[in-house]
Amino acid sequence: MSRLWFGVVTLFPEMVTEAANFGVFRRAQEGGAVQVEAFNPRDDATDRHRTVDDKPYGGGPGMVMMAEPLLAAIGRARQAAAAWGDDAAPVLLMSPQGPVFDQRRAQAMADRSGGFILVCGRYEGVDQRVIELAVDGELSVGDFVVSGGELPALVVMDAISRLIEGTIGNPDSLLSESHLDGLLEYPQYTRPEFVEGLGVPSELLSGDHKRVADFRRKAALGRTLDRRPELLLEGEVLADQSDRRLLKDLLVERTTDG
């Protein structure tokens, strides 16, 4: 079974460790598949106020995280990663300027079965020299800005952890999730059969496994076409003859209904 170690460099360690203590992520840790440690740069500050930020050179609004406490905290995280068993754990800065984290990247990181050090910035950012001296890469969770890197780091860790064998109670549930094969997930239904006049599609009640599978695949194709059409072009979905047939049937149905 793969094992992952995450070292999170953060000014708010409790924010990370407490949030990681729920649901699938908690099960991953309890089962020994995942381990999370937090490293606070304030513990590496050299003054009595434990200062970790200062005004930017050149002026401007806000504060910038100082290089020395961050570099020291990253150093401690590297030592912990080596003690855990990975002396080459990559250091990744959570940043809106990095490549966007997606399902393929999550799978690649899960397959690595090693350590990762995630650096969480705050304020107006981190001193550029930290990036040049200690950061191996940057990761973004989307084209937007949040107050710090802790929430993005949690998103990254959760997405990776649930791909580790034994973490998900029913591993078959992973097979139909959004983005796993380039499509968004099909809609789901459960009891009761009718809710405020809305029923369950007849295909799902038929008991015919092929009919159910075709309905779900067609629904996934339709949802992807409506919401994220670029995924159909980026992936290998349209290379599959069965998918092309289902998509053609869907378009014919829409044309007829319209």
Helices (H), the chain: 13-19, 23-30, 67-84, 103-112, 128-134, 150-161, 202-205, 209-227, 230-234, 241-257
pTM (predicted TM-score)? 0.83
Domains and CATH numbers, the chain: 4-161 (3.40.1280.10), 178-257 (1.10.1270.20)
CA distance 126 to 241: 49
Of 171, 164, 186, nearest to 107 by C-alpha is 164
Q: What does the pLDDT look like over 46-100, one tens digit per residue?
A: 999 999 999 999 999 999 999 999 999 999 999 999 999 999 999 999 999 999 9
* pLDDT, tens digit (0-9, with 9 covering 90-100), for 162-219: 898 767 754 544 444 444 567 898 999 999 999 999 999 999 999 999 999 999 999 9
